Amino acid sequence: QVQLVQSGAEVKRPGASVKVSCKASGYNFHTSHFHWVRQAPGQGLEWMGLVNPTNGDTSYAQDFQGRVTLTRDTSTSTVHMELSSLTSDDTALYYCAREISATFYLDYWGQGTLVTVSS
Amino acid sequence: QSALTQPASVSGSPGQSITISCTGTNSDIGNYNSVSWYQQHPGKAPKVMIYGVSNRPSGVSNRFSGSKSGNTASLTISGLQAEDEADYYCTSYTTINTYVFGTGTKVTVL
């Protein structure tokens, strides 16, 4: 069965970077794009970006341009999201989600990774 | 890219129908048939309920339906049930190869 398993919770200082991973299993890794979506406590969903695992092509939300980097490791069917220059506003639950290529919707989601930014 | 606009809350009694609107622009909803809707219960990951404006994934109740007119998409829940109480988000692909979510709507079953 399709599974997206994310890495564990992180606590970071302001100004630091965080890297969250998402390991896919149960299907052909190359048939999908991977999106990252975050949700601050009590707030709505916010789209961050996507990566094409076949060629590494990325697209980022304007609000995160220059601060977020999405990468993939095809040998382990894993995608990574790195966010730099963290502030307390980046405290949120970060989700990875799968889009079967060119279908424009997210059919499977990871369990979420809580990133807390605190001094 | 500004978030799509949804009403903060919608409520209805069991058995009633409710509709949630999602308003965007010519750069997103108005330009593509790529609107999808997600249901999120507290503490859970979102679940897709509608994709491609009006398509239901396998396993989603036919009480959920979607439509679009111009720059506004809508999600209708008919025969409202207690289990439908959740937050709902729309999303759309955009002309700059990004996606944008709606502001979210809390559905309350009275």
pLDDT digits (tens, 9 = 90+) for B52-72: 999 999 999 999 999 999 999
Average pLDDT, chain B: 97
pLDDT digits (tens, 9 = 90+) for A10-29: 999 999 999 999 999 999 99
Q: Stretch A77-87: mean pLDDT, rounded? A: 97
Contacts of B46 in chain A (CB under 8 A): 37, 45, 95, 97, 106, 109
Hey, are the CB atoms on B46 and A47 less than 8 Å from each other? no
Q: Stretch A62-87: mean pLDDT, rounded? A: 96
- Structure confidence at residue A101 (pLDDT): 80
Q: Stretch A48-68: mean pLDDT, rounded? A: 95
Q: Which of B34, B98, B103 to mutate to test the interface with A (most CBs of A within 10 A)?
A: B98
End-to-end Cα spacing for chain A: 40
Contacts of B68 in chain A (CB under 8 A): none
Closest CA relative to residue A98, chosen from A21, A1, A2: A2
Whether A106 and chain B come into contact, CB under 8 Å, resolves to yes
What count of other Cβ atoms lies within 10 Å of the Cβ of residue B3? 18
Q: CA–CA separation, A69 vs A36, rounded Å?
A: 11
Tell me the one-letter amino acid at B33: N
The answer to whether the CB of A81 falls within 8 A of the CB of A48 is yes
Residue A102 has pLDDT above 90, yes or no: no
- Tell me how many degrees the CA angle B1-B88-A1 measures, rounded to the nearest 5: 100
pLDDT digits (tens, 9 = 90+) for B16-34: 999 999 999 999 999 999 9
- Structure confidence at residue B1 (pLDDT): 76
- Structure confidence at residue B108 (pLDDT): 98
Which alpha helices (DSSP H) does chain A contain, by range? none
- Structure confidence at residue A17 (pLDDT): 98
pLDDT digits (tens, 9 = 90+) for B5-17: 999 999 999 999 9
Hey, are the CB atoms on A112 and B36 less than 8 Å from each other? no
Place of tokens 């939300």: A61
Interface of B with A in 55-74 (CB under 8 A): 57
- Structure confidence at residue B14 (pLDDT): 97
What count of other Cβ atoms lies within 10 Å of the Cβ of residue A47? 24
- Structure confidence at residue B98 (pLDDT): 96
Q: Stretch A73-95: mean pLDDT, rounded? A: 97
